[in-house]
Amino acid sequence: MRSSGDVDAVVTAVGQTFAVELTEAASAGPVAIHAERAAGAAKALRKRAIPVVAVPYMGPSGKDACERAGVSWLDFSGNAHIVAPGIRIIVDGRPNQFPKRGRPSSAFAPKSSRIARWLLMHPAEAMAQRDISQATGVSEGLVSRVVSRLEEEHYAARDDRGLVRVSNPQLLLDAWQDEYRFSKHTIIQGHVAARSGDALTRFVADALSAAKVEHAATGLSAAWQLTRFAGFRTATFFVDAEPSAALKANLGFRDDARGANLWLVVPNDAGVFQGAEERDGVRCVHPVQVYLDLKEHPERSVDAAERIRTELLGW
């Protein structure tokens, strides 16, 4: 086990001492662990040392983890955020010089992400892998592989009974958001006459229910239903299949990506419906899913996501 004074490198430059931790993994979990080590080593050096995490390329969740820890960072792609008394180095926006070739395995692939979603929906619970499998509809083998990956990256842990619990919901959600791409779903954009986003949401929800289409609002529509935060124009619904011509006609849906105020989205995995509940007459996806989906939405989506996170998730 490493002591608090251990660090990968101690560098003296420009009149400063830097306690540097190196890691290949730049997602929130591994970066948070190395940031803690760098901070501990900087204190143990008994100098005014600056803790730094160094990675090949720093992603958004890793940056957030460093900021929360009060630790500087740099990457070998040319970006850096090193701020200390007498020094301020901020370089951002340079592209990743170390992209991974092929299709890397991920705990957040469409079907695999059901496990992360279920853990985040029940952050205080310790669960058996078999129970996770039954709840999410994925095989025990896949659950085992994904949980092992989440353990490696410090997002989940097992107790002495072998039960699984999310170890840090904040870091897990950050890491998932890093990888999540709403555009990977099939998005059908169009226009429906409506006097407001709220009126449109209710009209579409009623029409989908009447047509017996499995659905759930997400994005700004769901954020409004859950928090009443900010008016909006664009309504978004997950639907379990591409809408038929008859359904489009019933909605008065006109295909129009440029003037679209309604997105009907066929998900790349049915797991998006996990935890969906009716709110004020409109079925909405779970707040975890709303938060993720807002990442690539227009209007005040960033502010809405922050409201979802602080008010409903608390991470």
User: What CATH class has 182-313?
Assistant: alpha beta
Spatial CA neighbour of 132 closest among 164, 162, 107: 164
So where are the chain's domains?
9-91, 113-179, 182-313
pTM for the predicted model, two decimal places: 0.86
pLDDT given at position 103 = 52
pLDDT given at position 102 = 57
**Residue pLDDT, tens place only, 291-311:** 999 998 988 999 999 999 999
Question: What residues in the chain have per-residue pLDDT under 50?
Answer: 1-4
In the CATH scheme, what architecture does the domain 113-179 have? Orthogonal Bundle (1.10)
pLDDT given at position 106 = 87
pLDDT given at position 7 = 83
pLDDT given at position 16 = 87
